[in-house]
Homo-oligomer: A and B are copies of this chain.
């Protein structure tokens, strides 16, 4: 809770994102949603997460505008959890985490899932670029701080 209080007032957008997302579980819920999961029971099955933790994380993700609940089925008694436009903007975070994992956390002969373009089946790329489109790395960048009051 100390972390949360502190991050909210942070001038750093990455820190605020971490605060808004919540925790690792929340990010895995978002990952599953990008993968088409939308029902409580399917999130639970996919993540092997306790019901009370899943309930809590989904509630928080809805409150923060990352998910919305959509009534479905006969009499609309069931709800599905769908990413909002804001939630879908977490896509690059998921792709960046995936790219890091693919590069460093699998042995060459070990299988892993792949994110591909639907139409071609080819892997997608993530690039950091300058405004005029040149790829750059961290060493060529700097963080401009906001002056504290």
Min Cβ gap A90→B in Å is: 6
Interface residues of A in 69-118 (CB under 8 A from B): 86, 88-106, 111-118
A130/B122 in contact, CB under 8 A: yes
Residues of chain B within 8 A of A113, CB atoms compared: 11-13, 143-146
Q: Is the CB of A93 within 8 A of B100?
A: yes
Closest CB of chain B to A52's CB: distance in Å? 13
Give the chain B neighbours of A140 by CB distance below 8 A: 117-119
Contact B141 A114 (CB under 8 A): no
Q: Once the chains bind, are A96 and B92 in contact (CB under 8 Å)?
A: yes
Q: Report copies per complex.
A: 2
How far, in Å, is A53 (CB) from chain B's closest CB?
10
Q: How far is the CB of A110 from chain B (nearest CB, A)?
A: 9
- Give the distance in Å from the alpha carbon of A99 to the alpha carbon of B28 in the complex: 19
Cβ proximity bits A113-144 to B, threshold 8 Å, 1 near / 0 not: 11111111111111111110000111011111
A13-B105, A91-B137 known; 18 new pairs, CB 8 Å cut-off, are A12-B98, A12-B113, A13-B97, A13-B100, A14-B27, A14-B28, A16-B105, A16-B106, A17-B101, A18-B27, A35-B143, A88-B137, A89-B103, A93-B97, A111-B146, A113-B146, A116-B142, A122-B131
> Can you list 7 A-B contacts (CB < 8 A)?
A12-B113, A13-B98, A13-B106, A23-B23, A91-B128, A115-B142, A117-B130
